[in-house]
Structure 1
Amino acid sequence: MEAAPLVIPSEPFHVQILNSCDRHGCAIALTDADSKRSLTFQDVKMLSNRLASEFKKIGVEKVNIDELTTYIQQTRARFIVACSEQAERLQGLEGVKVLLIETLLVPATSDELEGEFVSDVVIGPDSTLLAPFSSGTTGTPKCALLTHDNYSAATASLKAGLFDGLNVRKESTLAMLPFYHASGFWALLYCLMEGHHSIIVRGFSVGRMLELIEKYEISIINVVPSIVVVLARVEQAMPSLRIVLCGSAPLGKELSEALLQRHPSIEHLIQGYGMTEVVVLSHATPPSAALARGKYGSCGKLLPGFEAKIVNEVGEQVEVGETGELLLRGRAVIRSYLVQGCPLDGWLRTGDLVRVDIDGFYFIVDRLKDVFKVHGKQVSPAEIEDLLLSHSAIAQAAVIGIPDEHAGHVPRAFIVLRGEEYSETVQEIAQFVKDRLSPHKHLKGGIRVVDELPMSSSGKVLRRVLQEQSIEVSEL
């Protein structure tokens, strides 16, 4: 039986959110975990109107969309909106005006406090809603132009393909991922649309996270694999937690099982795959817990509204079970980048190597640019990293290929140990890998012990930094 067609709203995405604020009214929408200040859905709409009014007064335009200096130049930005604690480090930027959010949200009159914002700008489905930069894990970040229709399509896809099947009602969730990251921002908007209570957390610490889960009886969290590693090892029970959503990087089978064994209250461990160019996710674990438990390590199935194909190096589709590059298309996929050329036509090349099994579950093998060859045989860093993370002494791991005169490349691992109580030597960890993997995957490039790995804001290891920079390391 064919699935029902996906219903995608035609009204602008921000209007959908404001209408939701009307529906949920006086219910609590947002709570700041530090100040404990809360905003109702009515408050969110009022402050949104206030901010839009101020933008209109000072001449913020619809069309004008490095580090920071590069980003400003590329987007031709005229304004930066920041909180007061960021103002000092933004001084001296040329050609832009810094607007303090605290000032913008203070109403000048009581009429403005209650007034509706009336826009004279025509906004349609193809209008740009957001222009985020890609994460830049393997190259220079690119500015993706995401439209209202992209956001509406992505939201309808996830609602139909995932959340409607999770029996999600009015839930409390920790907003731990940064709002300048695609997953964190979309999750915030979705919670506003669906009437959920988001507790906003600035920064991450294990103790703080556990405290807030208990205090607010958190039922859903949206995390990255590095946080799952922590959760799988903490002793404290979390009886309210029943849904864990994990993206940004592959989550291995062993780690998935360890998390669920440690915390039996978790009914659904949802893994997903996505990127900035598709708003949030194109794949997710199906809601059926019984079905999902047999597919740990998979990023799930293709969500409704997307098409996918897997191709080899010459662009030919591969057979089921074979590895190739994932290509995507659908209404949630961006039409173009801001600077890097013409609008995208046809299929979006993801740059990720995947395989799909007979049941339609996708497995991320690695980034196409991260895979290297040892004596002509392909090596996936992710496979070695998953094995290293299963070792009790290792908290974080990253693997790269380094040039070798005889083999072409050999694997080198960078690891962060869990604590001083672990006395494993580099030789013992190398032997741990030798005992479990084929010879061309052995760590012949060495093991380096570091205090921390270079990470993006979304929790991904920046392999290019490991490749390009000299890291001061000490061997155990």
Structure 2
Amino acid sequence: MAHSPHPEVSVPDVSVYDYLFGGLGDADLDEVALIDGTSGAATTYRQLVGQVGLVAGALAARGVGVDDVVGILCPNVPAFAAVFHGILRAGATATTINSLYTPDEIVKQLTDAGSRWLFTVSPLLPGAKAAADRLGIPDEQLVVLDGAEGHPSLRDLLGEGRPAPDVSFDPATHMAVLPYSSGTTGIPKGVMLTHRNLVANVEQSRAVIGLEHGDRVLAVLPFFHIYGMTVLLNYALKCGATLVTMPRFDLQEFLRVISEHRATWVFIAPPIAVALAKHPLVDQYDLSSVQVVFSGAAPLDGALADLVARRLGCVVCQGYGMTETSPVTHAIPRERTDLDRSSIGFLLPNTEARIVDVDSGADVDVPADGQSAPGELLIRGPQVMHGYLHNPEATAAMLDPDGWLHTGDIATVTADGIYRIVDRLKELIKYKGYQVAPAVLEAVLLAHPKIADAAVIGVLDEDGQEVPKAFIVPQAGAELDAQAVMDYVAGEVSPYEKVRVVEFIDAIPKSSSGKILRKDLRAREATQA
């Protein structure tokens, strides 16, 4: 068992609202909390706190309180912050919904969460309305933030001028949010995260990541995902930073917003790193304000990170976590420029970890030099979820009686406490008895100058044996054939790791948080078989 090398932090026993906003002084309140990257409209901390209270008051007047769950189907706009924290301020639980969900998927999440309220925006209203109608949610409980006939708007709620209610609950046990796991390896499950889980993870992150008061943070990663929710919406606000919101990722708009609003921190997922490293459009914008690019949600290759750092003249860091850990468990501190960028850095304060052999379950020994043998990463700490909603079997499979959460990720660790993620346990390819990690091959492929993006899965050959197959998105105008790709990889990896099949496609399917959707690639294989 390993402990964090960082000193422990004290976790306040307070609600998320009190933790983020309770200690703000007059000078803090007059600073800018949020900027709409599209329009440039600014919201001060004073305005945000006022809106949060008014949303809470309007909800309380409608009977929404400690026993209720409220859905949010909304892209990254400043109003999201007011609604999200207004729900928590009212004592209710927020369940955040992927903006790309179909009505069927919205229905499933709201049903499982037990939500009878939904906040959305007019572009997403058709799907939200279809789901609400199927669930019998009345129009007055489907709030359209920017307004739609027959539905209350955010302006309506704020205009009522109702004071925030006095609510009482135990932050250690009361559920603040109910995000749903990505579903890339199974059916989405409601992850029960308490006020203490979220407060703890922000406090842990403050001790390591290095964001500072006055920084300008680009918020393109979705707030509905735990990464955006904790690291942007909560951590950045706690630091007194300014969030510059983007409702969706578009490379040209992304570069414009960074340049015009002088963003100092850019939180990304690895697919954005590929664009920053390789796309010619990057050279057309002044990105000199960027001091740190911080990647999470999926493994970032060290060579790719170095390309981004050199091109932008900034520090590139990587962190690790999952929805079930609120999410951050590891991070490379900003000042540790000596660390390999492909690592996920050190354990956060108050966090323990084990690496266990996949077959035997025994703890893997940490060597005096070099990296340990790979094994499944287990985590224990105050950021670990209380379990999956309505799913004791899945909870028991994920979280053991001693509080160890089984991440399903294969990791190594050095004697210095530096961790690396090798791959997902369920995504390892078994080639003639050898374990082949898709992420390793993807990193090799992405280093090829003619490859824009890549993904690897295991497929069956004519003998029914699993072999690595690469899906390749070539750079625009590049001439590349399958044999050239296989020859290139063969020159970079061990014989058993070679790519055996190549298919060229237009785009790699990915989740909103940047994870490769291997299940979609497997489904593609099944239809072609």
Q: Are residue 302 (structure 1) and residue 350 (structure 2) matched?
A: no
State the shift of 1:209 in Å: 1.8
| Unpaired stretches in structure 2, ≥5 consecutive residues | 70-103, 147-151, 367-371
What RMSD in Å do the two structures reach over aligned CA positions? 2.2
State the partner residue of 1:341. 392
Q: Secondary structure at the match of 1:334?
A: coil
Contact 1:139 1:464 in 2 (8 A): no
Q: Are residue 5 (structure 1) and residue 8 (structure 2) matched?
A: yes
1:94-173 paired onto structure 2 within 5 Å: 94-97=135-138, 98-102=142-146, 103-106=152-155, 113=161, 116-163=163-210, 168-173=212-217
Question: For 1:418 and 1:358, how far apart are their aligned partners in 2?
Answer: 40
State the partner residue of 1:311. 356
Contact 1:370 1:381 in 2 (8 A): yes
State the partner residue of 2:36. 32
Contact 1:20 1:193 in 2 (8 A): no
Question: For 1:314 and 1:96, how far apart are their aligned partners in 2?
Answer: 50
Q: Are residue 200 (structure 1) and residue 245 (structure 2) matched?
A: yes
Question: For 1:261 and 1:287, how far apart are their aligned partners in 2?
Answer: 16
Q: Secondary structure at the match of 2:412?
A: strand
Question: For 2:167 and 2:360, how far apart are their aligned partners in 1?
Answer: 50
Q: Secondary structure at the match of 2:338?
A: helix
Q: Are residue 184 (structure 1) and residue 228 (structure 2) matched?
A: yes
CA shift in 2, pair 1:325/1:2, >3 Å: closer
Detail structure 1 runs of 4+ shifted over 6 Å in the superposition: none
Q: Are residue 235 (structure 1) and residue 283 (structure 2) matched?
A: yes
State the partner residue of 1:461. 516
Contact 2:35 2:42 in 1 (8 A): yes
Q: Secondary structure at the match of 1:93?
A: helix
Q: Secondary structure at the match of 2:134?
A: coil
| Unpaired stretches in structure 1, ≥5 consecutive residues | none
Equivalent AA in structure 1 for residue 307 of structure 2: A
| Equivalent in 411, 424, 443 of residue 499 of structure 2 | 443
State the partner residue of 1:422. 478
| Equivalent in 103, 106, 113 of residue 75 of structure 1 | 113
| Equivalent in 429, 445, 470 of residue 388 of structure 1 | 445
State the partner residue of 1:16. 19
Q: Are residue 88 (structure 1) and residue 144 (structure 2) matched?
A: no
State the shift of 1:468 in Å: 2.4
Equivalent AA in structure 2 for residue 183 of structure 1: Y
CA shift in 2, pair 1:120/1:259, >3 Å: closer
Q: Are residue 361 (structure 1) and residue 418 (structure 2) matched?
A: yes
CA shift in 2, pair 1:202/1:2, >3 Å: closer
State the partner residue of 2:95. none
Question: For 1:194 and 1:71, how far apart are their aligned partners in 2?
Answer: 32
Q: TM-score, normalised by structure 1?
A: 0.92
Contact 1:30 1:40 in 2 (8 A): yes
Which string of whole-angstrom CA distances, capped at 9 and with x for unpartnered residues, describes residues 348-382 of structure 1?
00000000112211010000000021111111001
Q: TM-score, normalised by structure 2?
A: 0.83
Contact 1:26 1:40 in 2 (8 A): yes
Q: Secondary structure at the match of 1:162?
A: coil
State the shift of 1:108 in Å: 7.1
Contact 2:214 2:240 in 1 (8 A): yes
Aligned residues: 462
Question: For 1:67 and 1:349, how far apart are their aligned partners in 2?
Answer: 26
State the partner residue of 2:326. 279
Q: Secondary structure at the match of 1:11?
A: coil
Contact 1:20 1:195 in 2 (8 A): no
Question: For 2:413 and 2:502, how far apart are their aligned partners in 1?
Answer: 32
State the shift of 1:238 in Å: 1.8
Question: For 1:106 and 1:306, how far apart are their aligned partners in 2?
Answer: 42
